[in-house]
Chain A
């Protein structure tokens, strides 16, 4: 026999909790990026300001890295440097995805087949392979890599658009809007995309962002010709640089970027879930 539940149980708070937790996880990253963009950093992130592996202090909040640079400043600078390319990835993914989704959902026979084929072809190539290929061809130009991330995500963004158009366009309220004299563009953009797909699109954007973060960090960690090159900072190359120090007891330079990376990915994932489950979503 089970345990009795007490009623009333209170509102459905899970989605709101996920949104709040996700936002909280992203605070350090966003704050760091903002400070870095504004240039309000305690030290020049490329300057050698202390002995290697200097411990944290009032001047160096997180200590120095293996080359004696301010770790906190480098963390923030890495976030700031990556903000532009990340937005580029989202913009490319969003525009390409929406265009692809509209083409799949709205074009007649051959156009639809073409768009669907294109989506399947792009979806068929593993995303990391695309990223590596583009990195190799463009000599690790971060903007191109992020554009590639966006393109490789386009089919995933297109899918909810296609399905909501297909699900909704035969529905009575779309037809009712038509009977009222609402133009076809407005029907698609307002009644379908804005009304029914905006949350899914936002959620897709969060998963695109987290993939972009992970891709950049992985490439930079691998190092060599790939990813962000020293002296520019990236959480990936900071991890790589701190790798050997860990075994000599200098764990902070490795832990700090790892924590930032984990918090960012966790925050984006929670945000995505919260957006999808938010209670106001109409069915």
Chain B
């Protein structure tokens, strides 16, 4: 338990405008990723997992966005000074005042000092996530120089081509001359992974990496992620709804439902189909996996907040009782390292 915390999020609340009120699409979320312990953030589309990542890294345009919480990445306190730009309190959660532009500018400036260096991101849609004017080679050179600024362009390109070869690309020199949007889905995924690995990050964030890939490609990408996870000095944060991928890749997981963490603990316990106790939402995800596997989140899915003051899964749970709708379930520690928020679960 002494490994340093790479990413520590506490009490994160993210709100969106909803007509004449505010909707809390992330509500008091706590996440802790420690060095050397690959972590998975699980949830369906709309559970808010991508929004969480984007809110913390300043990539989100949501308004008002972050209204409460703390976020640490390595040594950086990303949300320092939050209470000076935001006025919000849990007592009147439907009102907020925030200087969104100042906040975003400040957060982005802070994030820029680590993003692409100590923290890298494999974006959800790699074919379109990179600037269209840059070739793969340009991007590789930039990524390699982040770690070794002294390299010449030619040297950096050579190192970058090595990274491409390591993720199983052939004809790397030709690929380097192409633009990311010219590549097929599987190739773009590999290029994105090579770019994320090139700076030698402490934290590698993969956002839905197996999304939209067909079965054979998905296996190959998972395989590459396992190798990336096992690389020295890099810790993986996997954001996915693919429970099978999370079980294969992660040590710790947190399950997000309706913008709240409903279960967290070691992947072996949380994602063990036979294991008990378990949150009904997690069980539902696991049962669905046994029949099928899903790969792609609908692009337009907006985060759905659970009802306030109730269990976020109450509307869909088969064992909902009146209490589930009336009160928020307490956080129950079924093991020292395994917590569940459900009225059914006894400590």
Chain A positions within 8 Å of B, measured between CB atoms, are 1-11
A1 to B103 alpha-carbon distance, docked (Å): 10
A218 to B18, CA, bound (A): 49
Contact A7 B99 (CB under 8 A): no
Residue numbers in A under 8 Å from B15 (CB-CB) = 7
Q: Are B102 and A7 in contact (CB under 8 A)?
A: no
**Chain B 90-124 near chain A by CB (<8 Å), digits 1 or 0:** 00001111111110000000000000000000000
Q: Does B64 have its Cβ within 8 Å of any Cβ on chain A?
A: yes
Check B85–A7 contact: CB distance below 8 A.
no
User: Which residues of A have CB within 8 Å of B336?
Assistant: none
Interface 1/0s, chain B 49-91, versus A by CB < 8 A? 0000000000000011000000000000000000001110000
Bound CA span A270–B71, Å: 47
A163 to B17, CA, bound (A): 34
- Determine the residue in chain B with the shortest Cβ distance to A1: B102
A3 to B99, CA, bound (A): 6
Say yes or no: B95 contacts A7, CB within 8 Å: yes
Across the two chains, which residue of chain A brings its CB closest to B97? A4
Q: A10 → chain B, closest Cβ, in Å? A: 7
With A7-B64, A8-B18, A11-B19 in contact, is A2–B99 under 8 Å at CB?
yes
Provide the bound-state CA to CA distance between A9 and B98, in Å. 11
Chain B nearest CB from A2 CB (Å) reads: 5
Residue numbers in A under 8 Å from B20 (CB-CB) = 8, 10
Q: Is B297 an interface residue (CB 8 A)?
A: no
Q: Which residue of B lies closest to A10 (CB)?
A: B20
> Are A4's CB and B99's CB within 8 A?
yes
Among B15, B21, B86, B99, max chain A CB count under 10 A is at B99
A276 to chain B, nearest CB (A): 23
A5 touches B97 (CB 8 A): yes
**Please, which residues of chain A bring their CB within 8 A of the CB of B94?**
8
Q: CA of A11 to CA of B18 in the docked complex: distance in angstroms?
A: 9
Q: Output the least CB separation between A183 and chain B (Å).
A: 30
| 4 further interface pairs, Cβ-Cβ under 8 Å (given A4-B85, A6-B96) | A2-B101, A4-B86, A5-B98, A8-B20
